[in-house]
Amino acid sequence: MMNRKKRSQGFSLIELLIVVTIILILAAIAIPKLLTVKQQANSTAAVANTKSLLNALTAYQSQYTSQGYPATMAALGGADPCTPALANACLVDNSLATATAAPGYQGYIFTYVDDGVVPSQAFTLNVDPVSAATSNRHFFTDNTDIIRYADGGAAKASSPVIGQ
């Protein structure tokens, strides 16, 4: 009879530990980059939404000249089926028009304030992340249609302009 060596089946504990260590090292490198990219995407979406709101505000002011800018941002939206009126102009998605508190819209809260006169000729719009995990970039715009930003704190009229 021949003497057969028993072959071990599977992986040894050392081999498994090496594989797990390699996976953990790769994850430690990739996850922070993924979070940074996600925050940049959230910021880009916030700028696009701010531009949509600026366009809607201009359209509202043109359509309802006796009102000027709306008293609230909610007046830019309207529930489906939407029929345009002074209180619900149907110019933007209602989810965006009512994103004034958490959870916001796409990770951001939009704070709109008009000048309080009728017809309204001025407004401010602050766009702030719901949490630091969303992004650390804050945005500001007003009736000048210039979007400004600040990292880590609220943006204001003196903050740097986007793209400069």
Q: How large is the average pLDDT for residues 140-158?
A: 95
Q: What are the sequence ranges of the domains in the chain?
A: 13-151
Whether the per-residue pLDDT at 139 is higher than 60: the answer is yes
Model confidence at 138, in pLDDT bands (50, 70, 90)? very high
Whether the per-residue pLDDT at 116 is higher than 60: the answer is yes
pLDDT of residue 9: 76
The 10s digit of each residue's pLDDT in 34-64 is 888 989 999 999 999 999 999 999 999 999 9
Mean pLDDT of the chain: 91
pLDDT of residue 150: 96
Q: For residue 45, what are the contacts with CB-CB under 8 A and spacing of at least 6?
A: 106, 107, 108
The 10s digit of each residue's pLDDT in 62-112 is 999 999 999 999 999 998 899 999 999 999 999 999 999 999 999 999 999
